[in-house]
Amino acid sequence: MPIDMSDKTILKIEDLHLNFPIYQGAVHAINGVSLYVDEGEIVGIVGESGSAKSVTAMAALRLLPKGSFRLTNGNITMLGHDILKISEAEMNSLRGNQVAMIFQEPQTALNPTKTIGKQMFKVIQLHTGKKRKEARNLALCLLQDMRINDAEEILQRYPFELSGGMRQRILIGLAFACSPRLLVADEPTTALDVTVQRQVLQLMRAKARKTSTAILFISHDLALVSQFCDRIYVMYAGSIVEEGPTKLVLSAPAHPYTQALVRALPESSTKGQRLESIPGTVPKLTIKQEACSFRERCDHAHDLCVKIPSLVMSGVKTQKAACWLLEKVR
């Protein structure tokens, strides 16, 4: 399905279908995902574990191991490049110079045997071509933007001498070294405690706003995504089930899955009441979905739900959901 596109679009994924061949069959991980990220926007992908948030990001960055997957349909465009066609050298140059990434397990991203300074200078010199002194100055600026006051001293330290929050702030700072147009952050703060998570994300957002960097922020935590993103995509079993501006989606979720996620937010429960959870589990991805993948867990499921619903407007132009309930009221 074609998606809205403006000149400012940095990343555009159109109707992507991707599976992983396994012994006797395949894992149908991505089933018709379309999304876009515009310049300077902070866009969230939220969904339960296994909904294909990471696989979508990895596919967009062409980081899935060759031969491990089959891409059966779709297009991916990033900064005007056809990601499915460009050479490895072009892809490397895009990833190094215009697109930065922070992944789910950041604690392993720093080399334990080298000081923070050595590692930062090397990355900065590699990506920007700066001389060592300039690289050092940039490293200090990046650390200061991440509110690391004793930056000079931190450069002398080894990763194990620092807290997880501090290491993550360093990595986020470093991700901005090449002034990327897009930062893909996959659960960048999951390993940190809640208060540190919010501090780190606020710093990341402030830096992105300052440099007009777009962020694709991936998380299973709707509360976190809602505080941080301009727009969100809600994923379920490899498909987008709802999309729209964060405030709209949160205040008036249109898809029963999003409604259940919103009800499960701590803020939405009254004191003394039990928090809601969503009964049931995500469908097996080894079976190709021919029906709405949420219907087994949905209180509103009816006859039409044996077919896959498409994303339609939920009444407000910018908000869409894939649910037959919306088709019925149109």
Ligand X SMILES: Nc1ncnc2c1ncn2[C@@H]1O[C@H](COP(=O)(O)OP(=O)(O)OP(=O)(O)O)[C@@H](O)[C@H]1O
Nearest distance in Å: CB 37, ligand X: 17
- 48-59 burial, b at 16+ Cβ within 10 Å, e below that, comes to eebbbbbbbbbb
Please report whether residue 35 would count as binding ligand X according to CB under 6 A: no
Q: Choose the binding region for ligand X from 44-52, 73-81, 138-146, 224-232 (rule: CB under 6 A).
A: 44-52
**Residue 23: other Cβ atoms inside 10 A:** 5
Nearest distance in Å: CB 24, ligand X: 13
Residue 149 is encoded by which pair of tokens? 């006051």
Please report whether residue 28 would count as binding ligand X according to CB under 6 A: no
Residue with smallest beta-carbon separation from Mg ion: 54
- Please tell me whether residue 304 adopts helix, strand or coil conformation: helix
For residues 115 and 175, give the distance between their C-alpha atoms in angstroms, rounded to a whole number: 17
For residues 98 and 214, give the distance between their C-alpha atoms in angstroms, rounded to a whole number: 11
Antiparallel, parallel or unpaired: β 214-219 and 182-186: parallel
For 86-118, give the DSSP string: S-HHHHHHHHHHTEEEE-S-GGGSS-TTS-HHH
**Residue whose C-alpha is closest to residue 21's, from 59, 69, 65:** 69
**Residue 315: other Cβ atoms inside 10 A:** 13
- The site for Mg ion (CB under 5 A) is made up of 54
Q: Choose the binding region for ligand X from 49-57, 152-160, 198-206, 267-275 (rule: CB under 6 A).
A: 49-57
For residues 177 and 12, give the distance between their C-alpha atoms in angstroms, rounded to a whole number: 24
**Stretch 264-293 residues interacting with ligand X (CB under 6 A):** 285
- 69-107 burial, b at 16+ Cβ within 10 Å, e below that, comes to beeeebebbbeeeebeeeeeeebeebbeebbbbbbeebe
Please report whether residue 54 would count as binding ligand X according to CB under 6 A: yes
Residue from 11, 13, 27, 135 binding ligand X (CB under 6 A): 27
**Residue 297: other Cβ atoms inside 10 A:** 17
Nearest distance in Å: CB 151, ligand X: 32
Please report whether residue 20 would count as binding ligand X according to CB under 6 A: yes
Residue from 33, 42, 55, 94 binding ligand X (CB under 6 A): 55
Please report whether residue 32 would count as binding ligand X according to CB under 6 A: no
**Residue whose C-alpha is closest to residue 257's, from 286, 281, 290:** 281
Contact 206/237 with Cβ under 8 angstroms? Answer: no
Nearest distance in Å: CB 47, ligand X: 6
**167 contacts which partner out of Mg ion, ligand X, none, CB within 5 to 8 A by kind?**
none
Nearest distance in Å: CB 286, ligand X: 9
Q: Choose the binding region for ligand X from 19-27, 31-39, 87-95, 107-115 (rule: CB under 6 A).
A: 19-27
Please report whether residue 52 would count as binding ligand X according to CB under 6 A: yes
Please report whether residue 31 would count as binding ligand X according to CB under 6 A: no
Please report whether residue 220 would count as binding ligand X according to CB under 6 A: yes
Q: By CB under 6 A, how many residues form the interface with ligand X?
A: 15
Please report whether residue 319 would count as binding ligand X according to CB under 6 A: no
Interaction mask 64-93, ligand X, x per CB under 6 A: ----x-------------------------
Nearest distance in Å: CB 154, ligand X: 30
> Where does this chain bind ligand X (CB under 6 A)?
20, 22, 27, 29, 47, 49-55, 68, 220, 285
